[in-house]
Structure 1
Amino acid sequence: MPASAPPRPSPAAAAAAKPKSAPQKAMEKLGLLRDIDLALHLPLRYEDETQITPIGRTREGDTVQCEGEVIECRIETRGRRVLLVRLEDETGDLLLRFIHFYPSHQKSMAVGQRIRVRGELRHGFFGREMVHPTFKAVQPDTPLAEALTPVYPASAGLPQTYLRRAIASGLQRADLRELLPQGTVPSSLPPLRDALNFLHHPPPQARLGTLEDHSHPAWQRLKFEELLAQQISQMQAQRERALLKAPALRAKPGGLVERLLAVLPFGLTGAQQRVSEEIAQDLALGQPMHRLLQGDVGSGKTVVAALAAAVAIDAGWQCALMAPTEILAEQHFKKLIDWLEPLGLQVAWLTGSVKGKARQKMLDAAASGAAQLVIGTHAVIEDKVTFARLGLAIIDEQHRFGVAQRLALRRKLASMDLEPHMLMMSATPIPRTLAMTYFADLAVSTIDELPPGRTPIVTKVFADGKRQDVIEKIAQEVAGGAQVYWVCPLIEESEALDLNNATETHVELVDALPGFEVGLLHGRMPPAEKAAVMARFSSGEMSVLVATTVIEVGVDVPNASLMVIEHAERFGLSQLHQLRGRVGRGAVASVCVLLYTGPLSDTGKSRLRAMAETNDGFEIARRDLDIRGPGEFMGARQSGAELLRFADLQEDSLLLQAARRLAPQLLDKYPEAAQRQVARWLGSKAEFLKA
């Protein structure tokens, strides 16, 4: 019996099996997968190819389009090979200079060929010239473009011509029907399809200024749509969360909370008492708490977290505390063990460096419920880590975690059809506009009072030329018994950044400070070695600690009164503020020295100026938002999802307010339209907004 022929693949399967071209792969990398993705991939800028400027009327510095006949085409080989093409029209001639070229260039621009070129005009030794202009062969009757030519964000392997064709095609196919009921869109804004067609292909008379600063009504429509989808998603998350169940956690009279307060070696500030009560009220409810505890560096968030944990444990449930680095997790571990173990509680320690039998012991303690508190790093959310009764999850420095990681921690109680309460902590205060937008369903508690005894920190900014003066100052300080941090941004040589690394600085300071111990701490050291170095510095045996940003958060050495941050221009503003907060923890007046290497960018100048002008974490956060946008506050960067592409929180506050008013109306009266709006604009990113 003859073998039957194999079934022929379907056209779709055949297309899927076909290897992808470089441009297709580049488009996938940019997230250009759906027609709507292509329609929403908007130009960075525009080129005007709608008119020809006679060569004789061009002016130096102008970017113009000219057309003429090639009268000379030759390769010059003095020094490096250069293709020189002379173009002529009835008003004058123009030299085109190509340093990088192919044989096809010579064919396209052979003598006698008519070509159209576009580039920046300059005056060279041989008169008017353009270097590497765009060009194409034309006929005398070849029509001009009817709209401005878009220039899109692209990447290597993705030519503009390919991208323009793909976007024009996607724009035609995309479903751009109006989803919003009539009368709900501000009357000053155009229909969505009109807005997108205009932005992709603006007419020659369009005012480029309003396109480039995104103030044109077409841009405003896109921003409104995006903000509306985001607000709907947030309000939806808030409503869904209100339907979820969580364990009701109430402290017992005379129980663990009161016993903890009795053993603390200090009294609570008024702000700490207030936020502790806010958290306790949330925990007592049968729905999941979703609260952000924010307070400036050194305001005492750890003790508030300990009191929240005590409430959960007193009610018979477990608590997990997750920190972004092992050093910070260990700092919490030491404090909480000191406070809680004398009260008879078992605290488990879980990080990537805990291995073998020790790790299994911790896992068993969490799974059985023997460990009432589990402290660690990302290891806490691994699938193998199970809890008997996880009632409260505390995440420190929440902006350092991806929202996907926060979602994973929330799922630890899914088997009981419950959610743990969630307390997120941050020493990077959230500006009000950001809280309104990204944290619409988040309750915020603020510790706005520093514990007594904290001294203000004086910040000084010096160019790197003053380095030796700074080292001499350090020698005086350590001779008087002070301790010093010196922070470096790199730990090994980099060809891209000409910076002194931590190792070199360590050697330099060892030589400059004979008789004093100078330690080195960086991220690649084994955990045990890091712990040993930190212990010597904390105990006062070590005078100077040269470190990378592993000491950014949580490290508490009251005797350290001088902080030097080398190449301060390389750090973000909130990171500089966090680092500065490592000093000023004792009664001694403290100084933070910012050493920079010029020339400074405008952003670098803004950061250093802000640091010198204020110690207020809220003001620092506001300026930081102005400088770098909202991504990192959310932890959005780690999720891979840029949550706002078009709108700007500061500039578009009126649109945001309009979206906030409309979102609940749509959810109540037009739920299907609301769902379609979220799907179109956010897709899978909506899940991240619920974290």
Structure 2
Amino acid sequence: MPEADRKETSAANKPKSAPQKAMEKLGLLRDIDLALHLPMRYEDETRITPIAEARSHEGEAVQCEGEVLECRIETRGRRVLLVKISDESGAELLLRFIHFYPSHQKTMAVGARIRVRGELRHGFFGREMVHPTFKAVVEGAALATALTPVYPASNGLPQAYLRRAIASGLSRADLGELLPAGVVPPTLPALRDALNFLHHPPPQARLSTLEDHSHPAWQRLKFEELLAQQISQMQAQRERALLKAPALMAKRGGLHEQLLAVLPFGLTGAQQRVSEEIAQELALPQPMHRLLQGDVGSGKTVVAALAAAVAIDAGWQCALMAPTEILAEQHFKKLVGWLEPLGLKVAWLTGSVKGKARQKMLDAAADGSAQLVIGTHAVIEDKVKFARLGLAIIDEQHRFGVAQRLALRKKLAAMDLEPHLLMMSATPIPRTLAMTYFADLAVSTIDELPPGRTPIVTKVFADSKRFNVIEKIRDEVVNKAAQVYWVCPLIEESETLDLNNATETHAELSAALDGYVVGLLHGRMTPADKAAVMAEFTAGRISVLVATTVIEVGVDVPNASLMVIEHAERFGLSQLHQLRGRVGRGAVASVCVLLYTGPLSDTGKSRLKAMAETNDGFEIARRDLDIRGPGEFMGARQSGAELLRFADLQEDSVLLQAARRLAPQLLDKHPQAARRQVERWLGAKAEFLKA
């Protein structure tokens, strides 16, 4: 074996260090990855402040230097290392270490000169710092010439190691300008200059513009990223326009009209409008890629059923996929009730369907006799074959990973066709996000609730009022024959969290409501047991249902008029809104009680305040976006990577508009530059935007 090959093989087989593994976990694999891993804050190590003049406001650090006068361990309940230093001003500074090692004492021995940095406070013994950073220096040792970056890291990845790796990657990375002249706004710096500045800002740089990302260097990165994202979206849109899909025409007097005739209710104006939008797009020979959004209880399921009727009437199959078995079963029961009387065959496919029953369903999907297949993620398994899949409907689309959505689209690959795709969400998406994350996606919105729905009153109580809430439950059950949900955030998942789990709450309510049935529903139960409990609750034989968030979506019990959400501060805003939507589904006045345990964080206060002030899902979504930011709101984590790392869709709307205007020009006139722009900034994430 040649010497060079032997060295390469040896390097490949060498075990990776903990920092190397941690860097891989953070996705820091290429030089460009390192160059784009930006500091989350900076430390100013460019100046020494005399101890006598040292001041620091809360959260701010100051750097001092001096000679160690005293280094001793004090034991008062616990061991504390106390180090006293003094500088040329004659002033003294006490350093206090609660966690320390023998090496600390060695470095800070009496007579040593050390440089320390930390938050200064005035304690009982004068000026002091608790757990400052420190290092031994010689008198006159050089100071840093730029602000010191502090990077997002993880366990096993020291800042010093990460700084060296990033500096090395930054020097090697290909940061040449990819965009033609005139594309980048003239007020923004070159990309390499922007990155060098952000990694090593000079001492005179205004920290405020770095931390709020308003500095021109930050603006350059945001512009580049938004442009790559818009190019990718537009490219996906153009590629989809070249794809072929079955043209599904609604027939006069066909299943679509027959279903409308047998429904026990009339459609709202909004339902009629979105049904027509969907039917018009299904009739085209290009694949529909549409998001159907509407608030909790707005009637998305019947719109989906009407779309399925169009597809089936045209001679094609339809698949409907839901994230949980409870929700899938809810759909199954509704759609069977509506469609089977019209002569349609509906198949049921989830993980709990086993053996011969499962094989029967698989055969029915494969030979086309099952015109509609409803289920969970089991629908997209490789073993599931469709004879002619024309329409795929995904409910609560944000609960599925991107790879799962892509897999469903590939079910027609053998026919060189794509199924039409209808995604549904009860988490309304603000317009800016829909236009950006779903630039290639048509959006239909049901912005009207069916008549007869009573507004839900939301009340917020501290956990100290728990007894009063239980009394209110007793009144609802005994005097009004109503039904109640009590939702708990955990079920025996963590001993470290001081939470009442569902089991304890079930026992507490059972004792308080002697003579009435209190049910229990949680994620560890078998699907059959869950279904049995839900059936009892739906039939009215269970008065109070204690549950974890397995009842978050899809459950429809009109007689349930009271919802109690325990530890409401631990739920996200959209999740709280989804849970609240389980009541108020009939004509009975309904109440949602949010029980919280203090002290509340600012985020917790904002969530509970929003819930108390509005029932409007679109307003809830807007506030949720303000609280969480676009990455988390869109469920980007489910795709394994946040799609936008630097830009903020609300704050950077001017840059977004520029990127949206420039993207088609680059694709048309400079396709190579457009492709390289997407590769640099999105890499493999570009695939996610196509889902």
> In the alignment, does 2:20 pair up with 1:21?
no
Label 1:546 to 1:47 Cα distance change in 2 as closer, same or farther (>3 A). Answer: same
Rate the CA distance shift 1:376–1:14 in 2: closer, same or farther, 3 A. same
Matched residue SS, 1:206: coil
- The answer to which of 57-66 and 36-45 deviates more is 57-66
CA distance in 1, matches of 2:413, 2:530: 37
CA distance in 2, matches of 1:435, 1:40: 26
Alignment of 1:504-583 (within 5 A): 504-583=504-583
1:363 offset after TM fit, Å?
1.0
Q: Are 2:493 and 1:497 aligned? A: no
Question: Any idea what SS the aligned residue of 1:404 has?
Answer: helix
Partner of 1:623: 623
Measured after TM superposition, the shift of residue 96 of structure 1 is 2.1
Would you say 1:601 and 2:582 are equivalent positions? no
Q: 1:122, CA displacement in angstroms?
A: 2.1
Q: Secondary structure at the match of 2:180?
A: coil
**Who is 1:82 aligned against?**
80
Q: Counterparts of 1:59 and 1:206 in 2: how far apart (Å)?
A: 21
SS in 2 for 1:81: strand
Q: Are residues 1:356 and 2:355 paired?
A: yes
Contact 1:489 1:567 (C-alpha < 8 Å) held by counterparts: yes
Deviation at 1:112, TM superposition (A): 2.6
Q: Deviations over 1:68-100 (max 9, x none)?
A: 222333333454333332222211222222222
C-alpha contact (below 8 Å) 1:402/1:635 kept by paired residues: no
Deviation at 1:8, TM superposition (A): 7.7
1:619 counterpart SS class: helix
Letter in 2 for 1:156: N
Whether the 8 Å CA contact 1:401–1:635 is kept in 2: the answer is: no
- Residues 649 and 90 of structure 1: CA distance in aligned 2, closer, same or farther (over 3 Å): same
Aligned: 1:170 with 2:169? yes
1:63 pairs with one of 61, 64, 88: 61
Offset at residue 315 of structure 1 (A): 0.8
- The equivalences for 1:373-388 within 5 A come to 373-388=372-387
8 Å contact 1:403–1:634 — kept in the other structure? no
Compared CA separation, residues 132 and 660, structure 1 to 2 (3 A)? same
Q: Deviations over 1:537-569 (max 9, x none)?
A: 111121111111111111111111111111111
Unaligned runs of 5+ in 1: none
Per-residue deviation, residues 34-74 of structure 1 (Å, max 9, x unmatched): 11111111111111111111112112656211122223333
| SS of residue paired to 2:532 | helix
- Matching residue's letter, 2:690: K
Amino acid at match of 1:402: G
CA 1:450 to 1:60, structure 2 compared with 1: closer, same or farther past 3 Å? closer
Amino acid at match of 2:427: T
Residues 35 and 174 of structure 1 are in contact (CA less than 8 Å); yes or no, is this contact kept in structure 2?
A: yes
Residue 488 of structure 1 contacts residue 501 of structure 1 at CA under 8 Å; is this kept in 2?
Answer: yes
- TM-score of the pair, normalised by structure 2: 0.97
Query: What CA distance in whole angstroms lies between the structure 1 residues aligned with 2:442 and 2:124?
Result: 67
In the aligned structure 2, how far is the partner of 1:562 from the partner of 1:101? 54
Q: Which amino acid aligns with 1:189?
A: L
3-state secondary structure, aligned to 1:647:
coil
Contact kept, 8 Å, 1:296 with 1:429, in 2: the verdict is yes
Whether the 8 Å contact between 2:457 and 2:591 is mirrored in structure 1 is yes
Q: Matches of 2:640 and 2:654 in 1, distance apart?
A: 28
Aligned residue in 2 for 1:181: 180
- Tell me, yes or no, if the aligned pair for 1:403 and 1:635 is still in contact at 8 Å: no
Find the aligned partners of 1:516 and 1:222 in 2 and give their Cα distance.
61
Question: Offset at 1:30?
Answer: 0.8
Larger deviation, residues 8-17 vs 153-162: 8-17
Q: How well do the aligned residues superpose, as a CA RMSD in angstroms? A: 1.5
Matches within 5 A, 1:227-266: 227-266=226-265
The equivalences for 1:189-338 within 5 A come to 189-338=188-337
Q: For 1:324 and 1:187, locate their aligned partners in 2 and report how far apart those are by CA, in whole Å.
A: 48
Q: 1:60, 1:572 → 2: CA distance?
A: 36
Does the CA contact (< 8 Å) of 1:398 and 1:635 recur in 2?
no
Asked whether the equivalents of residues 302 and 332 of structure 1 are also in contact (C-alpha less than 8 Å), the reply is yes
The answer on whether the counterparts of 2:624 and 2:633 sit within 8 Å (CA) in structure 1 is no
Please say if residues 189 and 221 of structure 1, whose CA atoms lie closer than 8 Å, have aligned partners that are also in contact.
Answer: yes
Q: CA deviation at 1:241?
A: 0.5
In terms of mean alpha carbon deviation, does 59-68 or 162-171 score higher?
Answer: 59-68
Whole-angstrom CA distance in 2 between matches of 1:508 and 1:312:
50
Q: How many residues get paired?
A: 687
1:562–1:77 Cα change, 3 Å: closer
The change in CA–CA distance for 1:363 and 1:493 in structure 2 (over 3 A counts) is closer
Give CA-to-partner distance per residue, 1:241-265, whole Å, 9 cap, x none. 0000111111222221122122211
SS at match of 1:677: helix
Matched residues in 2 for 1:332 and 1:42: separation? 46
Q: How far apart, CA to CA, are the structure 2 residues paired with 1:599 and 1:89? A: 43
Secondary structure of the 1:222 match is helix
Q: CA deviation at 1:343?
A: 1.4
| Superposed displacement of residue 9, structure 1 | 4.3
For residues 20 and 192 of structure 2, what CA distance do their matches in structure 1 show?
25
Measure, in 2, the Cα distance between the counterparts of 1:602 and 1:151.
Answer: 25
User: 1 CA distance for matches of 2:102 and 2:456?
Assistant: 65
Amino acid at match of 1:250: M
Cα distance change on mapping 1:111 and 1:635 into 2, 3 Å: closer
**Counterpart code for 2:35:** A
Deviations 1:334-358 (CA, angstroms, capped at 9, x unpaired) = 0011111111111111111111111
Offset at 1:633?
4.6
Give the secondary structure class of the aligned counterpart of 1:684: helix
The CA deviation at 1:632 is: 4.7
* Secondary structure of 2:683 counterpart: coil
SS in 1 for 2:564: strand
Question: What is the match of residue 143 of structure 2?
Answer: 144
Amino acid at match of 1:190: P
Partner residue, 2:484? 484
Query: Secondary structure of 2:188's match?
Result: coil
Superposition map of 1:71-110 within 5 A: 71-91=69-89, 92-110=91-109
Q: Is the counterpart of residue 650 in structure 1 residue 621 in structure 2? A: no
Q: Distance in 1 between matches of 2:95 and 2:582?
A: 59
TM-score (structure 1 length as normaliser)? 0.97
Equivalent residue number for residue 426 of structure 2: 427
CA distance in 2 between counterparts of 1:467 and 1:96 reads 46
1:383-405, Cα deviation, whole Å (9 max, x unpaired): 11111111100000111111121
Please list the CA deviations of residues 173-210 of structure 1 after superposition, one character each: whole Å capped at 9, or x if unmatched. 11111111111111111111111111111100111111
SS in 1 for 2:647: coil
1:367-412 deviation line (CA, Å, top 9, x unaligned): 1111111100111111111111111000001111111211111011
Letter in 1 for 2:619: E
- Verify: 1:46 aligned to 2:42, yes or no: yes
Instruction: Output the CA distance in 2 between the equivalents of 1:313 and 1:454.
Output: 32
The match for 1:118 is: 117
Q: 1:405 corresponds to which residue?
A: 404
Query: Is the contact between residue 292 and residue 442 of structure 1 (CA under 8 Å) also seen in structure 2?
Result: yes
Give the match for residue 455 of structure 1: 454
Which deviates the most, 115-124 or 201-210? Answer: 115-124
Distance in 2, matches of 1:222 and 1:513, equals: 60
Output one character per residue of 1:448-502: Cα deviation in whole Å (capped at 9) or x when no partner: 1111211111111111111111111111111221111111111116233211111
Alignment check: 8 A CA contact 1:235 1:440 kept: yes
Matches within 5 A, 1:468-483: 468-479=467-478, 480-483=480-483
**Paired position in structure 1 for 2:671:** 671
- Residue equivalent to 2:442: 443
Instruction: Please give the secondary structure, in 2, of the residue aligned with 1:33.
Output: coil
SS of corresponding position for 2:374: strand
Give distance in 2, aligned partners of 1:79 and 1:446. Answer: 63
AA of the residue aligned to 1:272 = Q
